Amino acid sequence: MLLVTRRTLENTLRGAVKRFGLIITKTAGGTFTRRAVAAMELDPAYAAFAQPIPAVLETVAAQIRVYERQLQSVVRGNATIAGLMTVPGIGYLSALAFYSTIEDPARFKRSDDVGPYLGLTPRTHQSGEVDWSGRITKTGDNMTRAYLFEAANVILTRVTKPTPLRAWGLRLKERSGMKKAQVAVARKLAVMMHAIWSDGTEFEWRAAA
């Protein structure tokens, strides 16, 4: 909620700059917010509108840091979350989301059952001679699914270290497109993370197929 609030306030500042016809040049090491504050000297009307926003932004940012410290304290000393974070693309927020959503890995007889639980399998329709698969079901927790998509995108676009998982995803991307590859890799990640949690192991780069 706070992240959304921060983004809304930042977009409000961006809109104000355009509305008042101001041009903010880039400065070395300066964020947009700092440049927007500096532009208050250029237009009194803009300053009157924009002046409260940076103060609210700083308050929101401070509270975000408080939450981040709390979440990081949960991560420290938790062997399960540490094991999940060995998976490429999975940071502490993704690991925490998966951890809180699954709760108990014993709920699932097989690791493959986690994909459908998180809505990462295609919808199917069967009627007479008609049998087709559509978009993913999107059941389960939206935030966890979004984090897995983000992790899948990291693996496909940023990770450079060779791993069978990335190679498999890239082959699928060439064959079926980026979106389907992201879904498939996200589903594989969910399965692997459940297996890692169940076995108490870590991600193995060479064996991750």
Q: What is the pLDDT of residues 93-115, one digit of tens each?
A: 999 999 999 999 999 999 999 99
Alpha helices in the chain (DSSP H): 2-19, 32-38, 44-50, 52-75, 79-84, 92-102, 114-117, 142-157, 164-176, 178-199
| 8 Å CB contact between 80 and 197 | yes
Q: Which tokens in the block code for residue 75?
A: 């991560």
Measured between alpha carbons, how far is 9 from 6 in angstroms, rounded to an integer? 5
Task: Look at 158 and 128; give whichever has higher pLDDT.
Answer: 158
Q: What is the pLDDT of residues 32-43, one digit of tens each?
A: 788 888 888 888
Lowest mean pLDDT among 14-28, 37-51, 85-99, 180-194: 14-28
pTM score, whole prediction: 0.75
